[in-house]
Amino acid sequence: MLDGSRAHPVPALVAAVTGIINGTTMILGAIAIGWATDHLIVPALAGDDVGRAAWWIAAGAILGVSTLRWMTIIARGIATGFVQHGSQADVRRAVVDRYLHLGLSWHRRHAPGQLLSTAVADVDALWLPMLNFYFTLGMVVMLVVAIIEMFLRAATLGLVGVALVLAVLGLNLLYQRVLAPRAAAAQAQRGVFGALALESIDGGQVVRTLGLVDRERARVGAAAHGLREANFAMGLVSSVFDPVIELLPTVAVLGVLAVGAHQVESGELSVGVLVEVVYLLLTISIPLNVISRFLSMLPISTAGRTRVAAVIHSTETTGHGDQTLTSPPDGEPAPPDGEPVLRAGGIGLRARGAGYAVGGIQLLSDVDLDIAPGEIVALVGATGSGKSTLVDLLGRQLDPSEGVVEIGGVPAAELGRGQIAARLAVVSQSPWLFAGSVRENLQLDGHPREHRPYTDAELWRALASAGAENVVRALPAGLDTRVGERGARLSGGQRQRLCLARALVREPGVLLLDDATSALDPAVERDVLAAIAELRGRVTVLIVGGRPSSVLVADRVAFLRAGRLAAVGTHPELLATEPEYRRILHAYADHSSHPGHGWHPDHGWHPDHGSGDE
């Protein structure tokens, strides 16, 4: 709560001051009612003459206190909203920012539904007590003043008030101890349900086509039942404690009336004082309820804080945050704080003894690979040989568990992520588009080094190089056509071409293509690879995938076998020396041997070929 107050000091100060004033008005209201009882109500009931001044004083005091009370309630509520919702926004931004910087290995261990639950439900739970924090602060002040006032009026009645407060606080401490583990279980179950629900939605097509609707309904239903049970366990605790806590002020009032009536009868107390004390006790029930609600929210907040902290404090990042290049396009950037900087043009890549292991499984071992600036290299290997993992290391999506990866002659770990993103582009085997228009998907934040929007000419040039120009021109609104969530309105081949265009328009120094043409028809793929071949000497290109067409545009081929770099050489050299390499290419040649696909591992493409996308 204090973190939120420090982050938003002005509304926090307003909320705190108005909360305290509001609590004070409740005491002033009791005093005003007590005074009116002794000086107005009792004399009037006794038939005594009551002066006009007494009426005005009583009415003015009660109305004035009431007006001040509702004004402070409004001001406190608005200011509290600024602090609470502002703090939620701050933490959500921090959580999402952390998601963007955490490494792939961390994300692969956490389901997207759980991450969504943390960013939404857990952040809400974390700041839930803020709703009553400043109200509670004012009520604590009011409670202390009320107890003092009761002691000043009558020591015995003050003791009743103290006993009431101690009983309520004791019950609340017990309540928290009982509720805390149940609140943590409920928050965890929300994450489980969110993960399963999102998985079922994302895999909706698979679920329907494989007839798994009943299975998914049972899985998600079981998670929903678990969440219901967890929430029910919390509600059961509340249903036991809440009535007892609500009953205590009434018991205290009855005790005060029993003791106070005798003292009024004996002349030790006036009726006004007894009314004031009873009113104070009834008033005390309000802060006690508020404090009780505040305390009951703490276990839920603690559970949310634990889950949020697990994300915020995770150290599995790759990179130095969001450092970016800010130099003009015609000059090289000065290294910020001595940090190495990537230069323009083709950028060399190098892996020296690089390896990567996860969960005790060695995915890559002792990889030594040198890719010269402006060179085109094809990376070939059987499924599971470690091709995508090597791409993740070279693009610094992952850091090697052993060895070093260099980008532009600089260890990748010494480069800020902004520098890598400004010079290196990756097109993965799973094309991903935002839900906006084609233009928005290509523009994003504009040129990564020149910090300006792309011109339409640049966008069309990139689309032409990616073989997507005719596709976009055929769309209803051209560049302004909305592609749907994840590009759902486009075919797989069209999505791949747009993702490739998005990489090319950035004019990168390094282009990593991880099976990025797998959804293209051979004819379209040939044109795209021809455009990539024109980048030779200007852009360093690594073409990854099992489709053998890529080796024809490559200067060299790197062959991976079971996580190790088995050989590096030209295509003819590897055909002659690596039987498994030749087997992989022959397998693709056999797969493509029907009419319209004419690739041969020894001779390349036949004149006839198909057209269109998969």
Pair type for strands 599-600 and 604-605: antiparallel
- Whole-number Å distance between alpha carbons of 432 and 444: 13
Domains of the chain: which residue ranges?
Answer: 2-312, 349-605
pTM over 0.75: no
What DSSP string runs through 303-371? HHHHHHHHHHT---B-SSSS----S-TTSPPPPGGG---PPSS---EEEEEEEEEETTEEEEEEEEEEE
Residue 383 CB contacts under 8 Å (≥ 6 apart), including other chains: 546
369 pairs with which residues across the strands? 351
Q: Are 371 and 542 in contact (CB under 8 A)?
A: yes
What DSSP string runs through 128-145? TTHHHHHHHHHHHHHHHH
What is the CA 479 to chain-centroid distance, rounded? 30
Low-confidence ranges of the chain (pLDDT < 70): 1, 205, 210, 283-286, 318-346, 417, 519, 546-547, 588-614
Residue 199 CB contacts under 8 Å (≥ 6 apart), including other chains: 111, 112, 113
- Whole-number Å distance between alpha carbons of 115 and 112: 5
What DSSP string runs through 142-164? HHHHHHHHHHHH-HHHHHHHHHH
Output Rg (C-alpha) for the chain, integer angstroms: 36
Query: Which two structure tokens, joined as six digits, stand for 608?
Result: 């006839």
Query: Which two structure tokens, joined as six digits, stand for 61?
Result: 């005091």
**Model pLDDT, residue 258:** 74
Task: Name which of 590, 604, 467 is nearest 529 in CA terms.
Answer: 467
Q: Are 91 and 123 in contact (CB under 8 A)?
A: yes
**At 46, is the secondary structure helix, strand, or coil?**
coil
Between vectors from CA 371 to CA 365 and to CA 377, what angle results, nearest 5°? 90
**Model pLDDT, residue 91:** 92
- CATH architecture under which domain 349-605 falls: 3-Layer(aba) Sandwich (3.40)
**Model pLDDT, residue 345:** 62
Residue that has been written with the tokens 């490494």 in this structure: 103
- Whole-number Å distance between alpha carbons of 65 and 22: 9
Chain segment 104-127, per-residue pLDDT in tens: 778 878 877 788 888 888 888 888
Task: Name which of 283, 255, 260 is nearest 31 in CA terms.
Answer: 283
Q: Are 346 and 538 in contact (CB under 8 A)?
A: yes
Q: Are 369 and 569 in contact (CB under 8 A)?
A: no
- Whole-number Å distance between alpha carbons of 578 and 113: 44
Tally Cβ neighbours within 10 Å of residue 332.
12
- Whole-number Å distance between alpha carbons of 342 and 327: 12
Same fold, 2-312 and 349-605: no
Task: Name which of 500, 489, 569, 567 is nearest 532 in CA terms.
Answer: 500
Query: Which two structure tokens, joined as six digits, stand for 265?
Result: 């009868």
Query: Which two structure tokens, joined as six digits, stand for 447?
Result: 């040129």
Q: Are 352 and 380 in contact (CB under 8 A)?
A: no
- Whole-number Å distance between alpha carbons of 38 and 54: 10
**Model pLDDT, residue 614:** 43
**Model pLDDT, residue 593:** 44
Pair type for strands 402-407 and 376-381: unpaired
What does CATH list as the number for 2-312? 1.20.1560.10
Angle between helices 52-101 and 130-153 (to 10 degrees): 150
Pair type for strands 402-407 and 410-411: antiparallel
| CB-neighbour burial class of residue 500 (10 A; exposed 0-12, middle 13-18, buried 19+) | buried
What DSSP string runs through 548-604? GGGGGT-SEEEEEETTEEEEEE-HHHHHHH-HHHHHHHHHHHHHT-STT--EETTTE
Between vectors from CA 413 to CA 411 and to CA 414, what angle results, nearest 5°? 70
Q: How far is the CA of 89 from the CAs of 83, 92, 95, 391, in angstroms?
A: 10, 5, 10, 35
**Model pLDDT, residue 546:** 62
Query: Which two structure tokens, joined as six digits, stand for 377?
Result: 């290299």
